[in-house]
């Protein structure tokens, strides 16, 4: 039997078990979704959002990419963010990194990895921004772990810099932004930071948008 066939068999067993417990389970699941959380995590196969948090299908809206980045030019991530915030009305956005992240580790050297160099550049920028702190850490593993944490911190701050989040804050008390790191050696999640709607002042002024003003024209600002 091929390995992918085992996945299909496991799916049938999972579906049968759900129906055994609740005959209407899939009808209810298919009818709507109302997740409280948006999870922006790493694509690493060892970090499944539902299993590490003990949640069920429908509980967490998930976006994953290499090294859990929030990049202001990533239309995929931004589309997920907009839908989660404006349509699903999630209460919490979780940026979840993990120690021993391959993407973060690759960003720490000068090797040419091809296309992914452009993606890893975002983590290199985090490294440069926090050079003073990181340069004082002599042990490589300790520096690696700290860069994982700093990367999560900067991605949470990147969320706060989006008009999607700021518009939501202007009209209510959510979403709350959280930065977490999973330790694969223990299975435990460490809280790194949090940004609440009234913490916008912690973001540099140039990134704070005047939400009360209608969307402007680039032609006007550039003339």
Active site residue 59: no
The active-site residue out of 63, 98, 157, 178 is 98
Active site residue 130: no
Active site residue 98: yes
Question: Would you list the DSSP string of 77-88?
Answer: HHHHHHIIIIIS
Active site residue 42: yes
* Number of alpha helices (DSSP H) and beta strands (DSSP E) in the chain: 10, 5
First to last CA, the chain: 66
The active-site residue out of 20, 22, 32, 42 is 42
The active-site residue out of 59, 72, 92, 101 is 101
Report the half-sphere exposure of 110 (CA within 13 A, side-chain side). Answer: 0
Record the tokens describing residue 87, joined without a space: 């349509």
The active-site residue out of 22, 46, 72, 199 is 46
The active-site residue out of 44, 63, 157, 178 is 44
Q: Say which residue the tokens 């009818």 belong to.
A: 31
**Rounded to 5°, angle at Cα 111 from 105 and 115:** 90
> Cα 25 to chain center, whole Å?
28
3-state SS assignment for residue 177: strand
Active site residue 44: yes
Catalytic residue numbers read: 42, 44, 46, 98, 101
């Amino acid at each position: 039997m091929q390995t992918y066939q085992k996945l299909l068999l496991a799916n049938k067993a999972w579906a049968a078990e759900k129906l055994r417990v609740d005959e209407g389970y899939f009808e209810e699941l298919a009818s709507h979704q109302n997740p409280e959380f948006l999870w922006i995590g790493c694509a690493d196969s060892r970090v499944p959002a539902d299993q590490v948090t003990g949640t069920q299908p429908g509980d967490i809206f998930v976006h994953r990419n290499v090294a859990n980045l929030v990049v202001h030019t990533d239309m995929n991530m931004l589309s997920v963010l907009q839908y989660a915030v404006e349509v699903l009305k999630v209460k919490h956005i979780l940026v979840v990194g993990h120690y021993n992240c391959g993407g973060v580790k690759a960003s720490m050297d000068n090797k040419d990895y091809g296309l992914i160099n452009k993606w890893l550049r975002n983590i290199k920028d985090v490294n440069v921004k926090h050079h003073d702190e990181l340069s004082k850490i002599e042990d490589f593993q300790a520096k690696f772990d700290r860069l994982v944490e700093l990367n999560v911190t900067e991605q949470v701050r990147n969320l706060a810099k989006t008009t999607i989040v700021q518009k939501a804050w202007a009209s209510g008390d959510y979403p709350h932004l959280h930065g977490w790191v999973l330790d694969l050696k223990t299975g435990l999640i460490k809280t790194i930071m949090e940004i609440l709607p009234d913490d916008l002042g912690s973001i540099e002024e140039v990134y704070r948008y005047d939400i009360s003003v209608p969307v402007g024209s680039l032609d006007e600002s550039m003339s």
